[in-house]
Structure 1
């Protein structure tokens, strides 16, 4: 029998040659395969939870078959009827919706007045200490949002809620329920937290307005009200509309403040109503409420995008020197500075010092009762659920370790995933894959945190195919934390990869470097700034996150934020305040280190 040599062997068939060629290309440039993997991962982690919560709202859950007259698992409109049309729909949905709108509008107006006024002060006037004010006035945004609500309780709490009464009540000043709990304190405390958000948006917009336009109008005889109405307001509309819509979106998904200040007065908003429905195991009702919150959140961001497109025609053309000219306050310079200091004191020093004072005195305002028991005592009299100081026992340290471990791992995953998404979007050759990754990675930004947590709980609470039930595991917390902060890291990754040319990678590829070598020795080192930012910013945000994790934690996965809320439920106000101070200290320290490492500032460009 004749034996064919290698040279005489017949070539492989065309189909096999194409497969071998594609495998060879894939080995040197697996961008396409990486894109498909990311599509599957994001599809399951972002899209699937929304599909699951939609399915739960339309399928009958176990335990409801008697009320609905259907078998579990069947398609049903029972939950839609129960939420929107039943006799208790007012309690379940319509009253919380109205309360949410009241809180959102009130908070937005408060934040606009305070934040807008401070923005004008530090960007358009010669107030003394502009640079210091610009940095000091954004500090409230670094604190957990319910820091202000706990401080409010410490000041105004009356005997209606469990635990020690507030400072005013303890000195004989009766605080009515409307002042201690309900919409007014919720609006004020949320406004104090979100006004720096308006300050940053409006302040940066004010800096871009050329004052030559205003001067020209005045020279032509236009009165001040006409200048404001025809020039300043149209140029400010993009920033104002963004501030309004994004503050409303943030308020829609916030949980801690409405829970702390609304629960004693039975004042429910959509976020606390959703949490209560899940606590009551009303999965179908919770799914309907979650879908409503998701829909409102998406509509808000889409409206913001639409407004930004409409307002792009309002542009500023002028010289930089004219844009930087400041209004002279003359004899009002120091009173204006004093006003800025008052805002800082009310929004930062008063809440923090109030919380601190409550943790070191047994009787409010009585320094003779100074004690460190709430921090260090081995046994607190009368305490049952948390019988010792916060630094004693294992609860605080276990929660701190869980927070650092879970948030840290989630931040690393988020940063790496964001850079890989940016790589595929910029370097990939499949436009549909790039468009899908770009849009889906941004989708969690459109969804309020507590609604996305409810959707994730709906998907991962039970085993589905090869994926086991993840509820109660640290893995689920890490996944949800990473996904909810993905919009920031993915946008950062896309921007970073857009600025990196292909030449270094092409040179390395010609030299024989594999794809992994190119990524590990070229892309990641060059983009280490984006990676560091993508890790630290989600880490700082995740440390003070409550809305996302409140429904996903269990006894074994307690975080610092959920520990503080649990202490509020027990009525241990001083202990809850101590834990919040620990969170605030860590959050502020990490924010400061972030700004030092990245050579940036939240208030950059506002003052001085």
Structure 2
């Protein structure tokens, strides 16, 4: 036990095989098994091998509604979001990284705030403003002001595309901005001295060198849009505008296990391809190297008379993507009738009121036991999952770097990365396929906190394990060998030497999964029940009931926790999301 890395590696491999590989394999196997609900219809016993599920999803009379229309919607929404994010994010990245706009450092952080918030925060704000009576319920702001928004503006492809683009624009700002900051401005100066116009410099010098970072940002946006559930559910479900994520959710809730397995397999395949493309682009990016002095690499371009208009453009971007959505959500929580700005229409009842005229919500959010129960569930469930992921990430890193069994190290490196290839909604379906029924001594976990903790922990392992591996690769063997010479066993060396030295990466491996788990919805929407609601699922249930003011209040509280938690994470780990932009 003085060198138990091999034993720990084998135990970790068994654990992650059960938590990650087994659910995915079980889910994909369900695509070729007769489900109990279909056994009478197709005349085969439940569990028998079949191609019925594939035929139903790909070429039956209902295939267009199950797969093809949602697939077309998913691709069109993702492409639209990528295009908008590319234009908006590219301009903002250039302004922050290479110009002297006013408030440059402030914008470097402010413009990535949308990614610190749940993706469907802007969707709820959009719904509050443009909601119409197509699906009943309370009127939206525009309708209250005398203008009835058309369906194409209130629901469907346009709002989903715009909202996803605003949420994921920070990807372009971060990746493209970091590349621009590393770009040697002497190359531009040389081209201009030779008489090249600005368009030629951009087309022949800047864009070719920036292409890997731009394409990497776009593939990441595509992968994220593929598995995003909340935005499409809020803005698409009222008019039955399904994407793959919501179609999968409908299949699961309709207890069509085989159909859900095929859809999840399609999502996993597309997600895997997009991530592998991104990995290839990152490798190609290493071939692009510019040489120049440090001072010449980050010289800000003076905008002159354009400085004020460009600063106003950056302020407009922040206003549209952050300020307006949050202000709309807050105002909606203090209005009895949305969009009516009369003084007697404002109230704090949805925050602290009693005896509200609603059936299932008689008190304000802050005095509702269900809200505090969901908040407590979020803190302790996500907290336990994050701590477990962080500790396991350090152990994985230790085993990968130190174990003499290189095959175990390689297996752990790849198996802990596997959830990154699987969009959250598909991984949730995978967890349901194996944890919703008893297996040997392990009982059925659906409806318990255990299934949420296990799913959250497994889903966050790519980040935690990469943090652990990176940290251990930077830690030499000398401190441990000195402790071993002094007679310290492996456990004492881990506690007294390794963890104190690597407390920064360990904190990041815990805090990052915690913040990500708090605001995530796609993974937990199919796993949580009313008794195990988190803040995310509680807000969605309130929105489903038509209690929009209460749902918006919950989302504001959740956004505050996610935002300030992210700031705390950056301060605790002495890192900054905006560090690549000079912020």
TM norm. shorter chain > 0.5: yes
Looking at structure 1, the residues matched to 116 and 135 of structure 2 have their Cα atoms a distance apart, in angstroms, of 28
Aligned to 1:533: 508
Deviation at 1:582, TM superposition (A): 0.7
Q: Out of 335, 343, 348, which is 1:361 matched to? A: 335
Q: Superposition pairs for residues 455-494 of structure 1, below 5 Å?
A: 455-494=430-469
Alignment partner, residue 25 of structure 2: 51
Q: Partners in 1 of 2:441 and 2:11 — Cα distance?
A: 17
- In 2, distance between residues paired with 1:356 and 1:44? 43
Between the aligned partners of 1:531 and 1:62, the Cα distance in structure 2 is 45
**Structure 2 residue runs without a partner (length 5+):** none
Report the counterpart of residue 297 of structure 1 in structure 2.
Answer: 271
**2:414 aligned partner:** 439
How far residue 319 of structure 1 moved from its aligned partner, in angstroms, is 1.4
1:572 is displaced (CA, Å) by 0.8
Offset from partner CA, 1:177-214 (integer Å, 9 cap, x none): 11000010001111111111211111001111111112
**Matched ranges for 1:149-548 at <5 A:** 149-363=123-337, 364=339, 365-381=341-357, 383-548=358-523
8 Å contact 2:385–2:457 — kept in the other structure?
yes
Please list the CA deviations of residues 227-270 of structure 1 after superposition, one character each: whole Å capped at 9, or x if unmatched: 22221111111111111100000000010000000011110000
Contact 2:229–2:425 at 8 Å: present in 1 too?
yes
| CA deviation map 1:135-179 (0-9, x unaligned) | 111111111111101000110001113321111100101111110
Residue pairs, 1:540-579, within 5 angstroms: 540-579=515-554
Using structure 1 for the length normalisation, give the TM-score.
0.94
- Report the alpha carbon displacement of residue 311 of structure 1 after superposing the two structures with TM: 4.1
CA displacement 1:576-598 (0-9 Å, x = unmatched): 10110110111112112112212
Superposed CA offset, 1:97-125 (max 9, x none)? 00000110011111111111100000011
Quick one: which of 64, 85, 88 aligns to 2:62? 88
Q: Please state whether the residue corresponding to 1:64 is helix, strand or coil.
A: helix
Q: Alignment partner of 1:59: what SS?
A: coil
Q: Which of 72, 76, 91 is the matching residue for 1:102?
A: 76
Could you tell me whether the CA contact under 8 Å between 1:415 and 1:535 is conserved in 2? Answer: yes
Structure 2: distance between partners of 1:249 and 1:352: 26
Q: How far 1:323 moved relative to its partner?
A: 0.8
Alignment check: 8 A CA contact 1:46 1:443 kept:
yes
Query: Whole-Å Cα distance in 2 between the matches of residues 134 and 161 of structure 1?
Result: 40
Quick check: 2:37–2:256 contact (8 Å CA) kept in 1? no
Other structure's SS at 1:469 match: coil
- State whether residues 163 and 572 of structure 1, in contact with CA within 8 Å, keep that contact through their aligned partners in structure 2: no
Contact 1:235–1:314 at 8 Å: present in 2 too?
A: yes
Out of 333-342 and 224-233, give the one that drifted further: 224-233
- Of the three residues 584, 588, 594, the one matched with 2:559 is 584
Contact kept, 8 Å, 1:234 with 1:314, in 2: the verdict is no
The question of whether the paired residues in 2 share the 8 Å contact of 1:361 and 1:367 is answered with no
Counterpart among 67, 75, 86 of residue 41 in structure 2: 67
Shift in Å, 1:392: 2.0
- Looking at structure 2, the residues matched to 372 and 579 of structure 1 have their Cα atoms a distance apart, in angstroms, of 14
The structure 2 residue matched to 1:140, chosen from 95, 98, 114, is 114
- Root-mean-square deviation (CA), in Å? 1.1
SS of the aligned residue for 1:222 comes to coil
User: Would you say the 8 A contact 1:163–1:573 is kept in 2?
Assistant: no
Query: Aligned partners of 1:605 and 1:303: how far apart in 2?
Result: 23
Asked if residue 40 in structure 1 is aligned to residue 17 in structure 2, the reply is no
Q: Is the 8 A contact 2:28 2:261 kept in 1?
A: yes
TM-score when scaled to structure 2? 0.98
Say if 2:4 is the partner of 1:30.
yes
CA–CA distance in structure 1, aligned partners of residues 247 and 552 of structure 2: 25
Q: Distance in 1 between matches of 2:124 and 2:284?
A: 41
Match in the other structure for 2:568? 593
Say which one has the larger Rg: 1
Verify: 1:111 aligned to 2:61, yes or no.
Answer: no
CA deviation vs aligned residue, 1:470-504 (integer Å, no higher than 9, x gap): 11111111111111111111111011111111111
Long gaps (5+) in structure 1: 1-26
Judge conservation of contact 2:437–2:445 (CA < 8 Å) in 1.
yes
CA distance in structure 1 between the partners assigned to 2:488 and 2:103 by the alignment: 54
How far is the alpha carbon of 1:366 from its aligned partner?
A: 2.7
Query: Are 2:104 and 1:130 aligned?
Result: yes
Q: How far has the Cα of 1:308 moved from its partner?
A: 2.8
Task: Specify the alignment match of 1:7 in structure 2.
Answer: none
Q: Are the structure 2 counterparts of residues 476 and 302 from structure 1 closer, same or farther at C-alpha, using a change threshold of 3 Å?
A: same
> In 1, Cα distance between the equivalents of 2:359 and 2:146?
29
SS class of match (1:28): coil
Q: Deviations over 1:252-311 (max 9, x none)?
A: 001000000001111000000000000000000000000110011100011112233344
2-side partners of 1:308 and 1:534: how far apart? 23
- On the 8 A contact 1:132/1:607 being kept in 2, the answer is no
Match for residue 10 of structure 1?
A: none
